[in-house]
């Protein structure tokens, strides 16, 4: 990752935080995107204390889509390219029957999990193509392709995300950009706690347990494209 430019969304906590930190420690120029400035600054302090270069912090809501476009312009001016995009930010919404979903909640989940990722693709596709080995990785879930009762908006949004990423991958076949999906599975995150409040968090792997897999999937050596990786399986 030395010298590579990487954007990681949802970088203030959970898997995004662990991934952004590892990328920085491996020598990447990391653009850490999240809504919470204080949490991003805390991560930056940890990275600096470990001897890595400071992060570039973008404390914005991804649903403020113009900010995504502005970030792309800033990256173009500073680096002229983007090597890695990790679309990790996500919203769970409220679990329950499809017919009972609150419209504002449904729209918010779709905005975060689908539309924001489309806006990232739209804004950053040209910069990824300027990289010698552009890599994009989006976080999905088992419920995105395995229908499960009461997972409503979240499952629907992940199914849409998966198809969007696969369509984009099909359009990139003749480029140096490789695009994939990753399903981390059960992980000790705040979203998992929200979905399963009665579960013992100590029974789950921490976010840091997945960071190495993310690192591998965005390396120039990774030649997989349009694939979905399930980290709960030994072969992943």
| Strand 84-87 to 228-230 pairing | unpaired
pLDDT at 235: 55
For the purposes of burial, counting CB atoms within 10 Å of the CB of 112, is it exposed (0-12), middle (13-18) or buried (19 or more)? buried
Does residue 236 sit within a domain?
A: no
Element (DSSP H or E) covering residue 56:
strand 56-59
Number of domains in the chain: 1
- The yes-or-no verdict on residue 81 having pLDDT over 70 is yes
**136: CATH:** 3.40.50.720
pLDDT digits (tens, 9 = 90+) for 134-185: 999 999 999 999 999 999 999 999 999 999 999 999 999 999 999 999 999 9
| Strand 178-183 to 84-87 pairing | unpaired
Rounded distance between C-alpha atoms, residue 160 and residue 58, angstroms: 26
pLDDT at 233: 82
Question: Could you list the residue range(s) of the whole structural domain that residue 209 is in?
Answer: 5-230
22 CB neighbour count, 10 Å cutoff? 21
Rounded distance between C-alpha atoms, residue 159 and residue 8, angstroms: 21
Question: In sequence order, what DSSP letters do the residues of 110-140 get, joined into one string?
Answer: HIIIIIHHHHHHHHHHHHHHTSTT-EEEEE-
pLDDT at 105: 97
Percent of the chain residues past pLDDT 90, beyond the cut: 93
Mean pLDDT of the chain: 96
Q: Judge whether 82 and 126 are in contact, CB under 8 Å.
A: no
Kindly give, in sequence order, each residue whose CB lies less than 8 Å from that of residue 31, ignoring residues fewer than 6 positions away.
5, 6, 7, 8, 55, 56, 58, 71, 75
Query: Inter-axis angle of helices 152-171 and 116-129, to 10 degrees?
Result: 20
| Over residues 185-196, mean pLDDT | 90
Does residue 179 sit within a domain?
A: yes
| Over residues 46-70, mean pLDDT | 97
Catalytically active residues are 154
Does residue 190 sit within a domain?
A: yes
pLDDT digits (tens, 9 = 90+) for 116-127: 999 999 999 999
pLDDT at 236: 45
Does residue 235 sit within a domain?
A: no
Local confidence band at 91 (pLDDT 50, 70, 90 cut-offs):
very high
pLDDT at 234: 66
DSSP state of 54: P
| Over residues 7-11, mean pLDDT | 98
pTM listed for this prediction:
0.95
Does residue 33 sit within a domain?
A: yes
Rounded distance between C-alpha atoms, residue 97 and residue 99, angstroms: 5
pLDDT at 42: 98
Does residue 217 sit within a domain?
A: yes
């Amino acid at each position: 990752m030395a010298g590579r430019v990487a954007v990681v969304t949802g970088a203030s906590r959970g898997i995004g935080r662990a991934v952004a930190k590892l990328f920085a420690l491996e020598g990447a120029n990391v653009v850490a995107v999240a809504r919470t400035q204080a949490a991003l600054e805390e991560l930056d302090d940890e990275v600096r204390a470990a001897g890595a270069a400071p992060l570039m912090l973008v404390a914005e809501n991804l649903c403020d889509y113009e900010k995504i476009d502005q970030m792309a312009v800033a990256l173009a001016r500073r680096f002229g390219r983007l090597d890695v995009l990790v679309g990790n930010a996500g919203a769970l919404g409220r679990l329950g029957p499809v017919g009972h979903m609150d419209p504002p909640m449904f729209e918010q989940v779709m905005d975060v999990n689908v539309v924001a990722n489309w806006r990232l693709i739209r804004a950053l596709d040209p910069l990824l193509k300027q990289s010698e080995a552009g890599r994009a990785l989006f976080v999905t879930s088992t419920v995105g392709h395995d229908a499960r009762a009461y997972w409503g908006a979240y499952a629907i949004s992940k199914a849409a995300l998966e198809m969007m990423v696969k369509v984009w991958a099909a359009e990139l076949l003749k480029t140096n950009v490789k695009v994939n999906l990753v399903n981390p599975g059960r992980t000790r995150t705040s979203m998992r706690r929200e979905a399963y409040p009665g579960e013992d968090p100590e029974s789950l792997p921490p976010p840091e347990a997945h960071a190495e897999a993310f690192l591998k999937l965005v390396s120039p050596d990774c030649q997989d494209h349009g694939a979905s990786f399930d980290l709960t399986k030994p072969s992943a």
